[in-house]
Structure 1
Amino acid sequence: MPTERLNGSAINYRIEGEGPETVVLVNGLADDLETWAFQVPALLAAGFRVLRFDNRGIGASDRPTGPYSAQLLADDAKALVDHLGVADFHLMGVSMGGMVAQQYALSYQEDLRSLTLACTYAAPGPFCSRMFAMWADAAQVLGVPFVMRDVTLWAFTLDFFRTRTDELAEFETAMRYMDQSVPAYLAQLAVIQNFDTTGLLGGISVPTLVLAGEQDILIPTALSKELHELIPGSSWATTPGGHGCIWEHPDPFNASFVDFLLQHNGRSS
């Protein structure tokens, strides 16, 4: 995978497909570009080119001193798409990536053909803020892999734990051996702790889909619904599963996402 030094940090990225339109994918907290392993085949099959990358602080991208902000990560994404000559693209972000995508739309809306915000919010509120403060405290004592194993409990549904034990074991093993330092984790965590676009979202006019897991308890579905209500003219959809619906139930998630993209492509114009 190529790496480019952009916006003061080396950014690792991957481009796949030959489609006339590009979908840019932004990962969540402590997730690298492999986050999208279950989405990329569906996007390629639908005829899109796909760009995904490691946010600063994870994967093969640099891990400079934090804290980071949604604006900083949006500027990283902007530097990357400009470097690659990608314009008029579809932007999707999940969880923290959805916050980065909101900030991108607020800062660089002219670049976008559409915007999809998955399992995310406009502001954390009292519930999520308390949860994230506990993650910060736990990471400094118990390490990032321990915290991410705990996050697994919040990400999947009861049915997943009961019936898909082999997949669960794979996720738990990946979390146990994940490679992210405590400083890099805390630098990324600051993005979601300090994020608040509640008074700004009226300025988004690009076609927008807010998509949430029906059983999301990590970023409660109600917070995603409030985000939808703050963006004029945005579409709303839910999909089976919880915060990890992109992994637990990728087919219905992908169907909703791809359907929205096809409604807002330029192939018939």
Structure 2
Amino acid sequence: MMIQGTGAGRTVWQLHQVPALTAAGFRVITFDNRGIPPTSECPGGFSLQDMVGDVVGLIEHLGTGPCRVVGTSLGAFVAQELALSRPDLVCRAVLMATRGRTDVLRAALNRAETELYDAGTHLPARYAAVVRALKSLSPRTLDDDAAMADWLDLFELSSAAGPGQRAQTELSKLDHRLQAYRDIRVPCQVIAFADDLITPAHLAREVADAIPGAAYELIEGCGHYGYLEDPGTVNKVMVGFLTGAAAR
């Protein structure tokens, strides 16, 4: 079961992660989180626990539990809360680009992004694409002209934000959950990206330290979208853990 981050749809997993997991023998389930069309955008807002409930409902409907769960960013927040509240549905969890609290800078970023949306300000698509690249990619990728041409085109085409994305952004104001995560008993693999500005590696390290027995992997040369920047390394760690080949 794969859970995407803020503003992203299930198809993002299809390029690199789904083929790697399928090749490893897994049946892979992806879905669009609430807030992402064609699901309801829920303009009135929703909670992190609502998103956890969505995953619970999907697992129970499909009869796939306990299953392996992979989440990135907001999807990782959902996955770790799912592992805490419904360990009967999760046998292993991979938490990419995650954190267990909101620091001053991340709180300011969240507030700025929601205020920008609420003000009705529409940034030019090209400008929004450049800002997204600077926030989400590593210097290694930013300095690669050929790669950046493709990334900027992609970001420009997907720059529109609606009420559902605004509602998801609001959930980035994560409560301090590190103490609660000490009660997680599901085997977990935390994957952090060394150049991640959105969920810095030191905050992901805190999650790994809080969850008993959790494994931690820091991947160099990657920003927030590390699973797309260096899918080979990410997939190796992910598949190794999910198959039990990696040491806990």
TM-score, with normalisation over the residues of structure 1?
Answer: 0.83
Q: 1:128 to 1:209 in 2, by over 3 A?
A: same
Which residue of 188, 192, 197 corresponds with 2:168? 188
Q: Which runs of 5+ in 2 are unaligned?
A: none
The answer for the alignment partner of 1:127 in structure 2 is 105
* C-alpha RMSD over aligned residues: 2.0
Q: 1:137 to 1:166 in 2, by over 3 A?
A: farther
Equivalent residue pairs, number: 241
The answer for the alignment partner of 1:53 in structure 2 is 31
User: By how many angstroms is 1:180 displaced?
Assistant: 5.2
Which amino acid letter does the alignment assign opposite residue 27 of structure 1?
A: Q
1:120/1:219 contact within 8 Å kept: yes
Q: Distance in 1 between matches of 2:177 and 2:112?
A: 23
Q: 1:30 to 1:231 in 2, by over 3 A?
A: same
Q: Which runs of 5+ in 1 are unaligned?
A: 1-23
Does structure 1 residue 250 correspond to structure 2 residue 231?
Answer: yes
SS across alignment from 2:85: helix
Does structure 1 residue 27 correspond to structure 2 residue 33?
Answer: no
TM-score, with normalisation over the residues of structure 2?
Answer: 0.90
SS across alignment from 2:237: helix
More strand by share: 1
Which residue of 205, 224, 232 corresponds with 1:225? 205
Q: Distance in 2 between matches of 1:208 and 1:254?
A: 15
After superposing on structure 2, the runs of 4+ consecutive aligned residues of structure 1 that deviate more than 3 Å are: 140-149, 179-182
Which amino acid letter does the alignment assign opposite residue 234 of structure 1?
A: A
Moved more, 142-151 or 231-240: 142-151
Which residue of 82, 106, 121 corresponds with 1:142? 121
The answer for the alignment partner of 1:8 in structure 2 is none
Does structure 1 residue 73 correspond to structure 2 residue 51?
Answer: yes
The answer for the alignment partner of 1:93 in structure 2 is 71
Q: 1:264 to 1:41 in 2, by over 3 A?
A: same
User: By how many angstroms is 1:88 displaced?
Assistant: 1.6
Q: Distance in 2 between matches of 1:191 and 1:28?
A: 11
User: By how many angstroms is 1:200 displaced?
Assistant: 0.7
The answer for the alignment partner of 2:85 in structure 1 is 107
1:70/1:195 contact within 8 Å kept: no
